[in-house]
Structure 1
Amino acid sequence: MQLGNKVFSLKGKMISNISGRCRIKYNGLKYISDKYEDLMNEIYDIHYINFVQINSATETILIKYNESESFDSVSDLLEVLDFIVEKYSLDIYKGYLDKKSSESNAKYSAENSSSKKLMGRLILNGVVILGTKIIGGMNFPVVNRPIYDRFTTIPALTSLALTSPLLKTSWEGLVETKRPNADFLTVTSIVASLLLGNSISALTIIALSDIAEFMTAYTVEKTRSSIKNLLSLEQDITWKINEDGSIEKCSVDKLKKGDNVVIHTGEKICVDGEVVDGEAIVDLSSVSGEYMPVIKKTGDKVFAGGLIKNGTITVEAEKVGDDTVISRIINLVENSATQQAPIQKYADKFSNYLVPLNLLLSAVVYGVTKSSTKALNMLVIDYSCGIKLSTATAFSASINTSVKNGVLIKGGAFIEQLTLTDTIVLDKTGTITEGKPRIKDIYLANGDYTEKQLVEYACSAEESSSHPLSYCVLEYGKLLGIKIPKHGTIETAVGRGTYTEVDGKTVRVGNLKFMQENGIEPDRGAIEFAEGATPIFVSYGEDFIGVLGAYDKPRKNIKRAINMMRSNGINEVTILTGDMKKQALEVSNKVNADSFRAELLPEDKADQILKMKSEGTSVIMVGDGINDAPALSYANVGISLGSKSTDVAIETSDIVINSDNPLMIPKVMELSGMTMDIVKQNFALVIGINTVGLILGATSNISVFWSAVMHNMSTIFVIGNSCRLLFNKSLKGVN
């Protein structure tokens, strides 16, 4: 299994094997420590195994087995264990991502300064520079000794104070990587300026560097602000029901699982839970992507972030605080900058290798020219800052633009990956189609019954079922104005249908297999009718009455969206579905897909994705985030389109589109392409401007000040170029 740039082999590797005892290694085993008990129990169920031990540190499983039992070879045992461990592949994937995210988030938090803090540094720097220019006394040393005088003027002391954070990071870089980093280069140039007695140059270098960093911090903070504006709960106080039945105002932070809260018209839901009383019209668009408000009544689930448009409901809290869906979305997307793209990692690594080049150039230039100013220019001008910012700022701006338009991208890695894939796999139901089947036609097989009676009997057996086909039968009954006859308890035959008693006879509603199992044989006409739709067979007693034909029509714009994807570089469009081949073929032809696979279970879809990847294909998977969860997680990029199961979507998808419009998919691909183009432009700007600066610094009489200006101007140009993405309108007005 390949996770981003990490490959986990879920095929065991035999580490040691002696009589009755072997140790097997599985990469990624450490990420499912909470599943060890379940895993060990499954292994213990193998009748010839009498001891199991899992070592998380070495990611190995120690097995002791009974040699007297008959199994052909240890390779057979290995095959059985591979089959068991494979079941935990999705858990390994999630554990790996959680670990990676927490590590990168900690690093990200430690490395970034706020724009307010940077603004304070700039103000202090500016005051000291102006003061030095106006008040000559500020440039006199506090300690008038040859060793200290250049370091004890007010500008010099200010420079050292402002440089102190860089001293720490440059030292940590030397310790961790055994080579100087960009901060080390900056510190060296500042110290060199002070040694030359040019404290104003040192302050200027710091000021220009802080301006570039301020623009970066501002871009990141703007992204986070957009996310919070889009998804913020904005509900600090709610009404809690006490044990004695009284209602009191309560801070949302003090709520706990099991509490009952009352939410009124105009208020936002502050917990995830179940409605236990009342009825209300709820807008859940910011959470689930459902653009139409829905009615929520007793027994329904609601999520934090939903807005009560009309009515009052009492909700029993199941998830509160950071556990709610809305909080998890905010945390995931706020920290999306930590999911580095391969090009970001390459840029960081490449830029770090360039730092020693500057030190070498400085030494060579000084050796040739004997000019400390020219040598200092080689330290002031470096490629590393600009190259790093070339990717970081572009991805941050792109994520900001997408989230403002209802698209949650979990990191720059997926922006880059979208431009590298040429194959897209689409789920059928709920992705290509609306996922809302409707009865469009009826086949009446028995002249003793009318079409209305057929629908009445069908509704009687479907009244309490939550299956989508049951819903469409009941909706059709409403359209016909039928009255559901009195009936007995409704029973479900899993995977086949439902049945109940009406006037002493059994009503059966379900698939063909369900009919045949109960001795009811539909006629040839019914079977032929069933081939062109999703059939719902209906019988009463021993009589077969007829078939309801349900159709799930393709989404509006899906064909146009696929054509746009092809223009964005997609060469292969494949449909994977659990539906029958007849329906899959019909939909495939309608949307001009290249191929399809039908009658697949969720794990079969995942296997198809893995097979494509094993053949060297980069795959985008688009699904609804429910049955498609394994396939979404295995794909290079998993996209959830208008998913109503937000919990699953945010766990398994790399990109969540909170819209039912399929045109958003090619539009996101277009934005990704623009982002990568800007990254390339940024690289050209940094390399071009800094190269010119190095040449001028070594061959002309350009001052350190202007060298610093050139270097930092390249950084500012990069940030400005990236900020163009903030105003990109490719995702707006999609219809």
Structure 2
Amino acid sequence: MGEEARTRTVHYRIVHLMTGRVRFRVPKLARDPDYAHRLQRLIESAPHVTQVRLKPAAASIAIRYQAQLASEAKVRKHLIRLIQAADVDEGCPSAASSTEAESGNWSELKLPVLATLLALGKEVWRLPIPQSMVAASVAVAGLPVAKRATQSLVRQKKLNIDCLDLIALILSSMQGRWLTPALLLLLHELGDTIRDRTANSSTSRAANLLSSIGHFAWVERNGKQQVPIEEVRVGDTVIVYPGEQIPVDGQILKGAAIIDEQKLTGESIPVVREIGQSVYASTLVRSGEIYIQTERVGNQTRAGASVELIRQAPVYDTRMANYAANIAEVAVLPALFLAGGIWAVTRNPARAVSILTLDFVTGIRVSLPTTFLAALNHAARHGVLIRSGRALEKLAQVDTLVFDKTGTLTQGDLQVVGVKAVTGRMSEMRILELAAAAEQRLTHPLAEAIARYARLQGTRILPRSEWNYELGLGIRAEIDGETVLVGSDRLLKQAGIHLDCFWEDHSYLLEDCQNYPDCPISADASLIYIASQGQFQGTIQYADPLRPESQQVIQTLQDQYGMAVYVLTGDNRKRAFAVASALGIPPTQVCAEAFPEQKAEIVRQLRNSGKTVAFVGDGLNDSVGLAYADVSISFGNASEVARETADVVLMNNDLNGLLDAIAIARETKQVIGQNINLSVIPNLAALLLASTIGLHPLVATVVHNGSAIAAGLNGLRPLLQHHYSN
């Protein structure tokens, strides 16, 4: 107790310690919220950790962990490494900087609001406000418009909507009417501010994607020593222990391990890797200890290359598509010539100001961002985070959806789906009882799946005496006076045990058996084999089951929305085609055993064929495909890389949220069409009046601003909807 340390930069002290529980006092927690957030996230994702309680005010973090799965000293050492690792700035913007950016957007409104209030006080409320003060406020508020207009003329050599605004401001100000230019400035600035707030900021999404590979590695250099991952070099021998991520790409020199490659390849079932075989950074050693000769590090690893592909992905303009700018490009010169002609004929500058005021653009500039902002808030209420107006707009146009399989269409966890006993031997319940007893307290995903299934079935867990786990084969144990084997068919064959037919006394491979087509071990299924007392007793079948909602969601996308649905996965062909068949996806739209760079290429090919593509995935292996799609979609509990890459995040971790998101996007597109009509039609009618019989500038401003307000209010309709149904 009371142990103090200082490693690198972060002070810590262990203030309480008992089996399976430790409490640290880390002063940095109290003064650095970003560090506290990073530390909590790192420790929650650490192997064996079951609970994290963080109290920043007390500079305290309490951690519970599974002490039976690893030594106490090793777990504490790993937690201390994480306390130091969390001090590495991941490049994420702080909350303070985000707040400053947001407040900066709204601060642009201060001068137009002040100018409008002064103009109202002078012209409407008849307050004794000096004319010079009102004029100065309008002039200062109009400086950004003048600057943009000047830049357009000088740099781009063309007239834009800011030029029209500037001329209208000057002409109306020359007549001493300050309310008209002040309102014009206020509404324009309000539209721009809302647009900027709605736009997707790339800095707010910045993250160090390579952090998923880890911060440290054990290497052999005059003995074993731990070094920062940046110091590992090609040719180094890296040691990886159970529960740790592999930090480099390379070949195994010594040892063997069961490795979970799901994060990189999408393969849901761990694989055995032995001497001479390749292993990859970001994959997890479930059991075993391996020595790796480093071949690639950092950005050169397969995981690092995936990150680089993401960084090189096409960068879209994250400001939402500004339809108003397109209209303005066409309308500027005609409006200018018309206003000039009317002034030349009538010698009345007020009529010219009316024409310049009645553009079709302001209402669209105000209402479109408002509509998008309302839709984004509406989606958030339904557990769907849409990061930008551009993503919402693209989502309404999507005609092709590409799904990863593992963890996206399936649940991503292995589950037992059935137990089958050989006729005339032991019961299915006894088989499950022996298997659960043999596999108890093992960390392999299949062992955990069998233990969960046994608990659900109310199976008693018998004591296990002597036992021996053989990597990649299974376990041999003494249970209830019986020698029990649980594992692959190779384990039983090595023990000289024949796999018999489930119904007749002969080898299961005898193809003239009438039961052959229905025999579980003759079918192409995922099985665990159980033997006892020298005889084959039965099998336990396991699978990565579909999400409960997958079938209904895929059917809706295909039938109601008319979308083409593809499955793109790193998993093997057998399981990929089985999932596609269960969901009604044509086999021609399935691609299996695809690495991240292949996923990116397939997405590019679909886009180049003229399709608007959305990609749905949840892992590091999906992040490249996500980056290259028109719209990228992930889950709230997905890997950090996938979440940061995604345009749309389903926070409820339910594919039904995808249907909500698409429906909201399409409804938003309809509202935008209505807003364009509300902005264009009144201004067009007023423009005809101003060009023929004349229209007072204030009336023109009311029509112009009124249509903008009406369109803006219409755009807020989604915020008034408290319930949504597909």
Report TM bin, short chain.
0.5 to 0.7
Aligned-partner SS, 1:481: coil
- Share of identical aligned residues, percent? 25
Do 1:113 and 1:217's aligned partners in 2 also have CA atoms closer than 8 Å? no
Aligned-partner SS, 1:575: strand
TM-score (norm. length: structure 2): 0.59
1:486 is matched with which residue?
464
> C-alpha distance in 1, partners of 2:164/2:538?
81
1:657 is matched with which residue?
650
Q: 1:571 aligns with which of 563, 567, 571?
A: 563
Q: Does 1:207 align with 2:186?
A: no
Between Structure 1 and Structure 2, the one with more helix by share is 1
2:231 is matched with which residue?
none
1:591 is matched with which residue?
583
Do 2:422 and 2:501's aligned partners in 1 also have CA atoms closer than 8 Å? no
Q: 2:408 aligns with which of 408, 411, 431?
A: 431
Residue 591 of structure 1 aligns with an amino acid whose one-letter code is: L
Aligned-partner SS, 2:711: helix
Aligned pair in 2 of structure 1 residues 571, 405: CA closer, same or farther (>3 Å)? closer
Q: Does 1:684 align with 2:663?
A: no
Instruction: Give CA-to-partner distance per residue, 1:57-114, whole Å, 9 cap, x none.
Output: xxxxxxxxxxxxxxxxxxxxxxxxxxxxxxxxxxxxxxxx999xxxx99999866546
Do 2:108 and 2:189's aligned partners in 1 also have CA atoms closer than 8 Å? no
Instruction: Give CA-to-partner distance per residue, 1:619-677, whole Å, 9 cap, x none.
Output: 22223345433333333222224x52351332232211112433222221111111111
Aligned pair in 2 of structure 1 residues 547, 120: CA closer, same or farther (>3 Å)? farther
Aligned-partner SS, 1:432: coil
1:255 is matched with which residue?
none
Residue 361 of structure 1 aligns with an amino acid whose one-letter code is: L
1:726 is matched with which residue?
719
Do 2:465 and 2:478's aligned partners in 1 also have CA atoms closer than 8 Å? yes
Do 2:678 and 2:711's aligned partners in 1 also have CA atoms closer than 8 Å? yes
> C-alpha distance in 2, partners of 1:219/1:346?
12
> C-alpha distance in 2, partners of 1:723/1:108?
20
Q: 2:632 aligns with which of 626, 633, 638?
A: 638
Q: Does 1:529 align with 2:520?
A: yes
Correspondence list, 1:356-367, <5 A: 356-367=333-344
Residue 590 of structure 2 aligns with an amino acid whose one-letter code is: R
Question: Following TM superposition, by how much is the alpha carbon of 1:129 offset from its aligned partner in structure 2, in angstroms?
Answer: 2.4
> C-alpha distance in 2, partners of 1:599/1:491?
32
1:711 is matched with which residue?
704
> C-alpha distance in 1, partners of 2:619/2:581?
24
Q: 2:420 aligns with which of 413, 419, 443?
A: 443
Correspondence list, 1:100-499, <5 A: 113=107, 119-130=113-124, 133=126, 135=128, 138=130, 153-195=132-174, 198-200=175-177, 202-211=178-187, 213-214=189-190, 339-341=318-320, 344-345=321-322, 347-445=324-422, 451-452=428-429, 454-459=431-436, 462-478=439-455, 479-486=457-464, 493=471, 496=472, 498-499=474-475
> C-alpha distance in 2, partners of 1:171/1:106?
28
Residue 427 of structure 1 aligns with an amino acid whose one-letter code is: D
Question: Following TM superposition, by how much is the alpha carbon of 1:464 offset from its aligned partner in structure 2, in angstroms?
Answer: 4.5
> C-alpha distance in 1, partners of 2:434/2:189?
70
TM-score (norm. length: structure 1): 0.59
> C-alpha distance in 1, partners of 2:649/2:696?
51
Higher relative contact order (CA 8 A, sep 6+): 2
Aligned pair in 2 of structure 1 residues 606, 168: CA closer, same or farther (>3 Å)? closer
> C-alpha distance in 2, partners of 1:578/1:538?
30
Do 2:399 and 2:613's aligned partners in 1 also have CA atoms closer than 8 Å? yes
Question: Following TM superposition, by how much is the alpha carbon of 1:374 offset from its aligned partner in structure 2, in angstroms?
Answer: 1.7
Residue 586 of structure 2 aligns with an amino acid whose one-letter code is: D
Instruction: Give CA-to-partner distance per residue, 1:565-602, whole Å, 9 cap, x none.
Output: 23553332233455565655554444333345375344
Question: Following TM superposition, by how much is the alpha carbon of 1:376 offset from its aligned partner in structure 2, in angstroms?
Answer: 1.8
Do 1:118 and 1:214's aligned partners in 2 also have CA atoms closer than 8 Å? no
Question: Following TM superposition, by how much is the alpha carbon of 1:705 offset from its aligned partner in structure 2, in angstroms?
Answer: 0.9
1:669 is matched with which residue?
662
1:622 is matched with which residue?
616
> C-alpha distance in 2, partners of 1:112/1:356?
32
List gaps (5 residues or longer) in structure 1: 1-96, 140-152, 229-335
> C-alpha distance in 1, partners of 2:692/2:108?
38
List gaps (5 residues or longer) in structure 2: 1-90, 205-314, 503-507, 510-518
Do 1:352 and 1:384's aligned partners in 2 also have CA atoms closer than 8 Å? no
Question: Following TM superposition, by how much is the alpha carbon of 1:704 offset from its aligned partner in structure 2, in angstroms?
Answer: 1.0
Do 2:142 and 2:185's aligned partners in 1 also have CA atoms closer than 8 Å? no
1:609 is matched with which residue?
603
Question: Following TM superposition, by how much is the alpha carbon of 1:706 offset from its aligned partner in structure 2, in angstroms?
Answer: 1.0
Do 1:461 and 1:490's aligned partners in 2 also have CA atoms closer than 8 Å? no
Question: Cα RMSD between the aligned structures?
Answer: 4.3
Do 2:529 and 2:540's aligned partners in 1 also have CA atoms closer than 8 Å? yes
> C-alpha distance in 1, partners of 2:377/2:196?
8
Do 2:421 and 2:539's aligned partners in 1 also have CA atoms closer than 8 Å? yes
Do 2:173 and 2:181's aligned partners in 1 also have CA atoms closer than 8 Å? no
Do 1:431 and 1:624's aligned partners in 2 also have CA atoms closer than 8 Å? yes
Do 1:568 and 1:669's aligned partners in 2 also have CA atoms closer than 8 Å? no
Residue 562 of structure 1 aligns with an amino acid whose one-letter code is: I
Do 2:339 and 2:353's aligned partners in 1 also have CA atoms closer than 8 Å? yes
Instruction: Give CA-to-partner distance per residue, 1:403-431, whole Å, 9 cap, x none.
Output: 12211112122222222222223334433
